[in-house]
Structure 1
Amino acid sequence: MSQHRPSGAPGRTGAVPALPDLPEATVSRLPEYLRALHALADAGHETVSSEGLASAVGVNSAKLRKDLSHLGSYGTRGVGYDVALLIDQIESVLGLTQCRAVALVGVGNLGHALAGYDGFASRGFQIAALLDADPSRVGEEIHGLVVRHVDELPRVVAEESISIGVIATPAPAAQAVADQLVAVGVTSILNFAPCVLSVPDGVDVRKVDLAIELQILSFHEHRKASLIALPATGGSALTALPGGLATPDTQEAIGT
């Protein structure tokens, strides 16, 4: 089974079935499971063990089994999980049974890249509208879509049945864009601007900040370098690390 879906008119969902009350951590892992399952399906696998799927995703199998149990999926002893069935269950819970239209606001370098990302369409999303406040950008064609002025947002959302907004503007403009999206009824926002948005209750915001992710990786690199630099033997029981941290460098220091 491929991730690619038949083309169809995007829009808001109609009748919404009752959904399990999933922990947020489980929700965040479901897309990872889904990606791995699609890869297995494309490779011709009909079943997968919990250990095999957990390994493909990078979690432990006990956590995976607990996550999937929230969906009512427990697998079959000695067989594992039915790949196609599990894909259907996860896609249903994530609301991916139909294509969702997305409005992208901000078509600078990042916006251009996002507008051309094929991964959206293969996972059930269509960039249906591009908008920007810069008059020099309005009218530009990017991957088959003509950039419209952000003031047209109310008309665009109504015409294209937009359900999700993506903000790829500079930080100073992001809050105003979020306010405009909320005002026209968009209640889910993916924010690439390096700032925290203030939104009303009932509006979900996911923040993607590449600089923060790099800073976290920098911490891990710094920590690894600090640990490598520690003396192998001798010295005091605790060796100071940058930032006021300390680490034991002898067995005696940790009571063994």
Structure 2
Amino acid sequence: MVLIPAQNPQERPAEPARELPPATVSRLTLYLRTLNTLLAEGAESVSSEALAESAGVGSANVRKDLSHLGSYGTRGVGYDVANLSSRIAQALGLTHEWRVAIVGAGNLGRALARYAGFESRGFHVAALLDADQMVIGTEIGWLRVSDVANLEPVLASTRANMVVLALPAAVAQGICDRVVAAGVHSILSFAPVALSVPEHVNLRKVDMATELQILAYHAQRLQDPGLDADRPGA
């Protein structure tokens, strides 16, 4: 006799993995952060309204986002925290082993290497590399800085499958090309330059100066609401 496990009535059977809307992916990371906090506090359930408030979105967004995962809350009870956390982690690929190499051991690279939040979110910083002979061989946190001239063997030996580029603009494209050629196709760049990569490579760019400029734009309007009134057609 074959025993079939009972299913939670609020969950539908798992469907084949499908691509999620980019906005949904961004919000799932916020929900997961809240769920992990609730898990640490011993909470067993959470409402869509509570998740919405923590992410700064409407509860309808929460329900729609989670429906992509086949997860539906129970009226009057909400969502099972442990189950939903597991589903989101699986959807985001966090059940895999992600090993990160940071290229660039300047101020930013050193700060990233010391950041304890990566490990708690499933990302293990496995290598830190630089070209400065005065830095190579020094220890930063639990890592010894490797020579970027040995980038390819370091990526292979550490089994790094993600790379963070904390580099000056002048050298970023060359290092990026080497990373791609070495078989790493997930790259996060802090370099202040637009990088060119093949279509199969996932490249995310973080430009803090641009983000500050956007904040300045909105802050200006908060401080002087009359700016919008002065526009033609306002």
Give yes or no for TM over 0.5.
yes
Q: What's 2:118 paired with?
A: 120
Q: What's 1:201 paired with?
A: 199
Query: 2:97 and 2:48 mapped to 1: Cα distance?
Result: 29
1:60-97 CA distance string (max 9 Å, x none):
11111111100000111111100000000011111111
Q: What's 1:71 paired with?
A: 69
- CA change 1:56–1:200 in 2 (3 A) is same
- CA change 1:137–1:30 in 2 (3 A) is same
Which residue of 24, 27, 30 corresponds with 1:26? 24
Query: 2:156 and 2:20 mapped to 1: Cα distance?
Result: 31
1:132-187 CA distance string (max 9 Å, x none):
12222211111121111112111111111111000001111111111111010000
Deviation, structure 1 residue 31:
0.9
User: What secondary structure does 1:104 align onto?
Assistant: strand
Q: What's 2:6 paired with?
A: none
User: What secondary structure does 1:175 align onto?
Assistant: helix
Query: 1:239 and 1:81 mapped to 2: Cα distance?
Result: 45
User: What secondary structure does 1:201 align onto?
Assistant: coil
1:68–1:74 Cα contact (<8 Å) kept: yes
Query: 1:18 and 1:101 mapped to 2: Cα distance?
Result: 26
Q: What's 1:11 paired with?
A: none
Q: What's 1:147 paired with?
A: 145
User: What secondary structure does 2:180 align onto?
Assistant: helix
Aligned residues: 220
Q: What's 1:211 paired with?
A: 209
- For residue 221 of structure 1, what is the amino acid of its counterpart? A
Which residue of 127, 130, 154 corresponds with 2:128? 130
Query: 1:141 and 1:18 mapped to 2: Cα distance?
Result: 44
Asked whether 1:106 is paired with 2:90, we answer: no
Q: What's 1:56 paired with?
A: 54
Query: 2:16 and 2:169 mapped to 1: Cα distance?
Result: 37
Query: 2:18 and 2:77 mapped to 1: Cα distance?
Result: 25
Q: Where in structure 2 are there 5+ consecutive unaligned residues?
A: 1-14
User: What secondary structure does 1:27 align onto?
Assistant: helix
1:102–1:126 Cα contact (<8 Å) kept: yes
Larger radius of gyration: 1
User: What secondary structure does 1:190 align onto?
Assistant: strand
Which residue of 173, 176, 193 corresponds with 1:175? 173
Query: 1:46 and 1:157 mapped to 2: Cα distance?
Result: 40
Query: 2:64 and 2:193 mapped to 1: Cα distance?
Result: 34
1:37–1:83 Cα contact (<8 Å) kept: yes
- For residue 24 of structure 1, what is the amino acid of its counterpart? P
Q: What's 2:161 paired with?
A: 163
Which residue of 91, 99, 104 corresponds with 1:93? 91
User: What secondary structure does 1:73 align onto?
Assistant: coil
1:20–1:71 Cα contact (<8 Å) kept: no
Deviation, structure 1 residue 247:
6.5
RMSD: 1.6
- For residue 131 of structure 2, what is the amino acid of its counterpart? A
1:169-221 CA distance string (max 9 Å, x none):
11111111111110100000011111111000110011111111111110011
